[in-house]
Structure 1
Amino acid sequence: MKTILPPQVITPSDVSVFLAGTIDMGNSIDWQQKFIDKANTEEALGNVIVFNPRRASWDHSWAQTIENAQFSEQVNWELDAMESADVILLFIEGNSKSPISMMELGLFADSGKLMVCCEEGFWRKGNIDIICQRKGIDQYKTFDELVTAVMTKLKKLANIK
């Protein structure tokens, strides 16, 4: 398994997953690393690519405008990676606001790529549940259930037994 972080070049791969969801400007738990650690230690995912948007060099002072080159690069990298990915894991923490995660759900609701966990307590969980139900998006109650399902799907896509 190989992890690609922004702004690394997105290369075509046989199978890939994008880790979408709660970051809250870097204030949330690093659940992306938890996924990567579990995938690396418990599952042999071969040549699977993981697109992790949690940029190591993120600067909170960057203006979030289209004119800001670093910000624009980040957003475009994320959109390119989601478009390229075979699977989009979307995890929304119960105590977050996650407005970009809700936007990502809307953008990719018809893609057939989404696998979602929206924790209890999320302020717009009802909206997330309705969108997932209407669009036939697989939904999981816990992060661990989501991780297990995503890894199973990645192994199937990569023909790993």
Structure 2
Amino acid sequence: MKTILPPQVITPSDVSVFLAGTIDMGNSIDWQQKFIDRANNEDTLNNVIVFNPRRASWDHTWTQTIENAQFSEQVNWELDAMENADVILLFLESNSKSPISMMELGLFADSGKLMVCCENGFWRKGNIDIVCKRKGIDQYNTFDELGTAVIAKLKKLVESR
């Protein structure tokens, strides 16, 4: 797998996945790397692109406005990556608020790309469950189940191309 981090240029690929979900300004566990490590053990996924929004050089002092070039670049990178991805893995940790992740769920609910795990205890789990059911979005009970399902879907996509 090849990981693309912001602000790297997004290039079209045969198969790609975007890792959406809880980051909490960098304070959450690095579940993105956990997924990448697991997927890297799959030989058939060598050419899959992973769009990981967890920016190594994120600066918490950036003003979150459209006028701030770095912030605008990050948000646009994420939106471009989700639009280009074949699969959007969305993970919501139980102890997070994840307002941007919820917005991303709404933006891409009709895309057919989302695969979601919203842990028990998440403050808006009921809302997430209803949106997923209403839109026919596959949901998983644990991060490990989500990872297994996403890897299986990526393998099928690789085989079909």
- TM-score class, shorter-chain normalisation, is over 0.9
- Percent identity of equivalent pairs: 88
Structure 2 counterparts to residues 2-81 of structure 1, below 5 A: 2-42=2-42, 44-81=44-81
- Aligned partners of 2:97, 2:30: CA distance in 1, in Å? 16
- Aligned partners of 1:27, 1:3: CA distance in 2, in Å? 21
TM-score (norm 1): 0.97
- Aligned partners of 1:125, 1:43: CA distance in 2, in Å? 35
- Aligned partners of 2:132, 2:111: CA distance in 1, in Å? 12
CA offsets, 1:112-138, max 9 Å, x none?
000000000000000000000000000
1:41 shift after superposition: 2.4
1:80 shift after superposition: 0.1
2:99 aligned partner:
99
1:42 shift after superposition: 4.6
Give the RMSD, CA atoms, in angstroms.
0.9
Matched residue type, 1:47 = N
Matched residue type, 1:159 = E
1:149 shift after superposition: 0.2
2:90 aligned partner:
90
Pair 1:46–1:129, CA change in 2 (3 A)? same
- Aligned partners of 2:148, 2:53: CA distance in 1, in Å? 20
1:128 aligned partner:
128
Contact 2:32-2:52 at 8 Å conserved across structures: yes
- Aligned partners of 2:110, 2:39: CA distance in 1, in Å? 27
Give SS of 2:150's match.
Answer: helix
- Aligned partners of 1:155, 1:31: CA distance in 2, in Å? 20
- Structure 2 gaps of 5+ residues are none
- Aligned partners of 1:70, 1:105: CA distance in 2, in Å? 23
2:110 aligned partner:
110
Number of aligned positions between the proteins: 160
1:43 shift after superposition: 5.1
